[in-house]
Amino acid sequence: MIHRRQFLQSSSLAFLAPSIWTQANQTILPPSIKPISLEERRQRIAKAQRLLVKNKLRALILDAGTSMEYFTGVKWYPSERSLLAIIPDKGELSFICPAFEEDRFREINMLSQQVRTWEEHENPFAMTIELLKDHGIRSGKLAIEERTRFFIFDGLRKAGMSFQLVSGDSISIPCRMIKSPTEIALMQRANDITVEAIKAGMASLKEGMTPADVSAKIAQVHRSQGAVHDFALVNMGVATSFPHGSNKPQILKQGDVVLMDVGCVVGGYSSDITRTIVFGQANDQQKRIWDLEKKSQAAGFAAAQLGRPCEEVDYASRKVLEDAGFGPGYRLPGLPHRTGHGIGMNGHEWGNMVKGNKDPLQVGMCFSIEPTIAIPGEFGIRLEDCVYMTQDGPRWFSQPSPSIDVPF
């Protein structure tokens, strides 16, 4: 559930040079798991160009971040010195790069030799507009990817008065929301590693432990398996009734509900699994709520059928809980959030399983099913597994928990 990459902004990594920051986020892939190829990235760019033409847009402009990595393979820390990628409606991918970073950038840029550099006193946004005009794009609509920082958007707007800047969602979302077999294989590997990490975390549980103790064990297993550790949200006792935990101190004791929401990254792709158990002997109330949660998750999975609206997954899971007297809606005790979120390179992506999302489920969509039951002042139960859509319907990345005593 928790947003994944925010910690980079506050950690020491945020102050590293782009080359060091990139090296710190590498994963080790076994021979059986293939990384995203240059050919697949070219296919992504070609799809983006088809969508640009369809939507009457002249170019897609990408700030450093996940979408730039998705289309180009370039992973670059988003500093105040702008590195931009420009995908035109036709023609070759181009980059705007700080001049003193050119050599390092060319080491990791494998797709295009069209690199225009800017010195410290120059305006990279004016240079972007000049580059577009040099390629025959002198007016029209420019698509700006959603996570582009405002100062870049504002700089482009001031430099390109003949252009209209619009959202790039109509390009980036259809591309990134539908995963290829290679992407799904990377996500499967990430999920497999996270299963082992949660098992290790559970095996380490001892009375008197804190969430940080358990999180450290999980992180150790992620890294030992060649993944980038992303997060390990561990909560105990009453803190499990808060979907993203409590700031109050937690010390494990017999009879506590323990919730572990865990993810890692493999080859740029994320996992997200939550398991909830009881440390010691579960009481009747804990068993009853756990069993209801399992039933709710199963109903969401059954509703995830090709062509049906995403919101039906949320409706099906929530109905199980409301029929049992929880809610209604987001009211507590009950399910206080959407039933699921899209997942891919980011832990949370487009394709949410939420009321109002009429988008039909399609082959290649990946999302979580996690209908939390939160009972304020007592405990919370969340079972979270992610699925990917196939021609035959949904398939689990990680198999759901059999019972409160058998998490895997």
Q: Which domains does the chain have, with CATH numbers?
A: 36-176 (3.40.350.10), 178-396 (3.90.230.10)
Instruction: Say what the pLDDT of residue 12 is.
Output: 30
Q: Is the pLDDT of residue 27 over 70?
A: no
Asked whether the beta carbons of 183 and 344 are under 8 A apart, the reply is yes
- Mean pLDDT over 97-118 rounds to 96
Mean pLDDT over residues 137-149, rounded? 97
Q: What 3-state class would DSSP assign to 133? A: helix
- Asked if 273 contacts 195 with a C-beta cutoff of 8 angstroms, the reply is yes
By CB atoms closer than 10 A (0-12, 13-18, 19+), residue 15 is exposed
pTM comes to: 0.91
**Which parts of 88-210 fold into alpha helices (H)?**
102-108, 124-134, 150-159, 169-177, 181-203
Quick one: average pLDDT of 216-223?
98
79 CB burial (10 A radius; 0-12, 13-18, 19+): middle
Q: Tens of pLDDT along 253-276? A: 999 999 999 999 999 999 999 999
Task: Give the residue ranges of DSSP H helices in 81-145.
Answer: 102-108, 124-134
The tens digit of pLDDT for each residue in 93-103 reads 999 999 999 99
**Tens digits of per-residue pLDDT, 326-349?**
999 999 999 999 999 999 999 999
pLDDT of residue 48: 98
In the three-class reduction of DSSP (H, G, I as helix; E, B as strand; rest coil), residue 80 is classed as coil
